[in-house]
Structure 1
Amino acid sequence: MKILMLGWELPPHHTGGMGVVCYQMCKELAQSGADIEFILPYTAEFPNIDFMTVNPALPEGVTEVIGSMAGSTYDSQYFTYVDNKGNSRGVQMHEHQSAYTQYVAKLARLNEYDVIHAHDWLTFRAALAAKQLTAKPLFVHVHATEFDRSGGSYGNPLVREIEHMGLLLADKIFAISQATKDTIVREYNIDPAKIEIVHNAMELEESELHEDTSVNTFTYLQIMQGRGYKVILSAGRLTIQKGLIHLLEAFAKVVEKRPKTILLVVGSGEQYTELIEHSAVLGLSGNVIFTGRINGTGKTWRDAFRVANLFVMPSVSEPFGLTPFEALLQHTPALISKQSGASELLRNVLKLDYWDIEEMSNQILAVCNNSDLEITLAEEGSAELANITWKRSVQKMMHHYQLHAHKQKVLHV
């Protein structure tokens, strides 16, 4: 099965969970016999990827493409092109998307693929061009819609239009949760029979299994824990979608009743400054720590989960949410919003509606004040992950690849 895979990021050059999902999913696909060519919008080294071919979409005469966001292109609004003489020029997102589309179209003309698989709206134009040229089956993989990214509102009309076109013309849609499928049907009027739910999973790399955990990056927090403090963790992109204003409001109520509580906020994003200012307004400057962006594939990232007594994901609209899985992998209990795809799978976590600030503060306090509850949630939640693997999801994907590839061959005999 030869797959033309179109994505916008891969670790370690990524932000958020989609890059991690693409990496782990493709690794399992390769183990299942798939031959994958993954096309990215930027140039970078990937020393840990030997199970598929990774190529950058390079415009004519360009030798290097750099995103404007350090460590990520998903949030980049512009890119830098560098030619073989070292000359550089900046380009806007729409221009680079066009260049990406042209590169993918050229590949589709020159090479033979069985299926095309595109991740989220940024790759849909290129995917549609490849489908038009080759008539090969197109699978679009929806990790988040514009409805989700805008916190449950209409969002950018142009992005919505691109999403709608990709969803309409795809042969099959992979949605990462029932919640995402429902959003696609409701917001884009797509036939539900066309959509297959393929849940994400989260698995530790071999190197992570043998990682030295004797020294934690956040030693100062461990010292504070020894003095009676509890550490609450939030990790991910700081955007309206993640519901962090609600978390700060709830945390203010926690500190009123339990002053020896720290909120560790790991990540960066458009709300970074706003959240710092809001913390100050709430009088939380002495209880909230903002780390800024931390590499999501490094030990420091995992150490944040290890040091926490409770991980909280209060997302307003979360198609899936990998971070609760990362918490449980490090034996840290999780509190997540019911408005997340992860809540469909995880049973041994605390759940609430993101807007219920009172309940959020109560559940945080319950874990902080009850060590037995913390330990039980951590143990049972971690054990639950053994049954949530990529193997099952990839088997479902391979079935649909083969089904549609066979149909395409029959039609063109």
Structure 2
Amino acid sequence: MKLLLVGDLIGNTGPANVNKALKKYLPTDTIFLEKKTKTSRVIELFIKMRKVDAVIFSGMSKINIIGFKLAKLLDVKSVYLMHGCRSIEGKINQNYNQRDVNAENEVLELAPRIICVSEFFMNWMKKNYPQYKEKITYVNNGIDWDGMVSEKVPVERDSKTLLAVGGGMPQKNILSICRAIDLINRKDKMNLKLIVIGKGGKDIEEIISYPFVNYVGEVKYEEMSAYYQKSRIFVQNSIFETFGLAPIEALVNGCDLLISQGTGAKSIISGLEENDIIYNPFDIEEISSKIKILLTKSNNERLLKSINKEETSIEFAVSRIIDILRG
């Protein structure tokens, strides 16, 4: 089966990083879109779609609407690899755009199969988009286990440093982590610090107002290992996260992990226990108490051992996507 992958292969976003990883493990005769302008990409899509048996649309783009219509016209199999949901994420981040949501809804309507990037996300989609539940399935994001750790620069881990990724996006809810650390530092005099990585956003001004916060901004993917290796605990306190590779990257790089109930990556960490999970991402008392537990009792080794590396590899994810296309 000859494939065409349509998706961002340049950016530093989650979907773009997934697409780059997929590109390395897809069959060697897989082809990709290379043009940059909208018009040239549409022409290229039409030309290349006639050369393949199936097409994977990975990530949301308006070109997907044209692509699914072309695939049907040319009798080419197609799937939508869904990394995020503009409707719920727009509401949480308070940047809801009706035109973008309308485009997403059209893609969901046109896609013969919708592949969610985690089992958690699939269950959420089936509940919130019941009209599509028969064509919704999932393939957990593949993990590049060999490429996650960089040992070029040895870093000394700081027992009082925590790390969070997502900048000031309300969806990532780092502000609640700040409030929890502030509570610990005031009540228990622990002098904890927090590194925050990612773009700005609605919450960023309040986040950086805390004296213990080191706001780094955006960091290249290949430079992230140093920040993980410096930090004792990685906290993923997302209100809604379809998958989120960062918690897995943090574990591989030696961090202990505190992860919210709404994070899709928890689907592949079978060893999670009650004190590893934030059930209410706005409950400052819950977050602070579980941070303090992790400071005295590491969960890194237990959680890492509970992940099936074979069934979470990129190779496994690629084979599952191809099986779905063949089916």
User: Shorter-chain-normalised TM-score: which range?
Assistant: 0.7 to 0.9
Report the count of equivalent residues.
318
Distance 1:9 1:246 in 2: 33
1:278-308 Cα offsets, whole Å, 9 max, x none, are 442xxx22x1100111101x2x310111111
The aligned amino acid for 2:4 is: L
2:19 is aligned to: 22
Q: Is residue 78–residue 325 contact of structure 2 (8 Å, CA) maintained in 1?
A: no
Distance 2:98 2:76 in 1: 28
1:385 partnered with 2:307:
yes
1:332 is aligned to: 255
Q: In 2 relative to 1, CA 138–265 (structure 1 residues): closer, same or farther, beyond 3 Å?
A: same
Query: RCO higher in 1 or 2 (8 Å CA, sep ≥ 6)?
Result: 2
1:125-164 Cα offsets, whole Å, 9 max, x none, are 3422432442211200111011342254893222222112
Q: Is residue 343–residue 351 contact of structure 1 (8 Å, CA) maintained in 2?
A: no
Q: How does 1:275-294 map to 2 (within 5 A)?
A: 275-280=204-209, 284-285=210-211, 287-294=212-219
1:322 Cα offset (Å):
0.8
Q: Is residue 121–residue 159 contact of structure 1 (8 Å, CA) maintained in 2?
A: no
Q: In 2 relative to 1, CA 348–332 (structure 1 residues): closer, same or farther, beyond 3 Å?
A: farther
Distance 2:254 2:142 in 1: 16
Percent same amino acid at aligned positions? 20
1:150 partnered with 2:90:
yes
TM, length-normalised to structure 1: 0.70
1:367 Cα offset (Å):
1.8
Residue 262 of structure 1, aligned match among 184, 187, 193: 193
Q: Is residue 80–residue 111 contact of structure 2 (8 Å, CA) maintained in 1?
A: yes
Q: In 2 relative to 1, CA 160–172 (structure 1 residues): closer, same or farther, beyond 3 Å?
A: same
Q: How does 1:12-411 map to 2 (within 5 A)?
A: 13-15=11-13, 17-30=14-27, 35-39=29-33, 55=34, 57-59=35-37, 96=38, 100-108=41-49, 111-122=50-61, 123-152=63-92, 155-205=96-146, 211-213=151-153, 215-216=154-155, 225=158, 230-236=160-166, 238-256=168-186, 257-271=188-202, 274-280=203-209, 284-285=210-211, 287-296=212-221, 298=222, 300-349=223-272, 350-353=276-279, 354-368=281-295, 370=296, 373-374=297-298, 377-387=299-309, 388-403=312-327
Distance 2:205 2:292 in 1: 22
Instruction: Please tell me whether Structure 1 or Structure 2 has the larger radius of gyration of its CA atoms.
Output: 1
Distance 1:130 1:201 in 2: 28
1:190 Cα offset (Å):
3.1
Q: In 2 relative to 1, CA 210–7 (structure 1 residues): closer, same or farther, beyond 3 Å?
A: closer
Q: Is residue 255–residue 261 contact of structure 1 (8 Å, CA) maintained in 2?
A: yes
Distance 2:53 2:200 in 1: 38
1:171 Cα offset (Å):
1.6
The two structures, once aligned, show a CA RMSD in angstroms of 2.5
Consecutive unaligned residues in structure 2, runs of 5 or more: none
Distance 1:151 1:361 in 2: 27
Q: Is residue 100–residue 126 contact of structure 1 (8 Å, CA) maintained in 2?
A: no
The aligned amino acid for 2:21 is: Q
Distance 1:132 1:263 in 2: 50
Distance 1:190 1:24 in 2: 31
Q: In 2 relative to 1, CA 209–252 (structure 1 residues): closer, same or farther, beyond 3 Å?
A: closer
The aligned amino acid for 2:250 is: A
1:180-220 Cα offsets, whole Å, 9 max, x none, are 223433444433121111111322345x667335x32xx6x
Q: Is residue 142–residue 173 contact of structure 1 (8 Å, CA) maintained in 2?
A: yes
Q: Is residue 148–residue 241 contact of structure 1 (8 Å, CA) maintained in 2?
A: no
2:5 is aligned to: 5
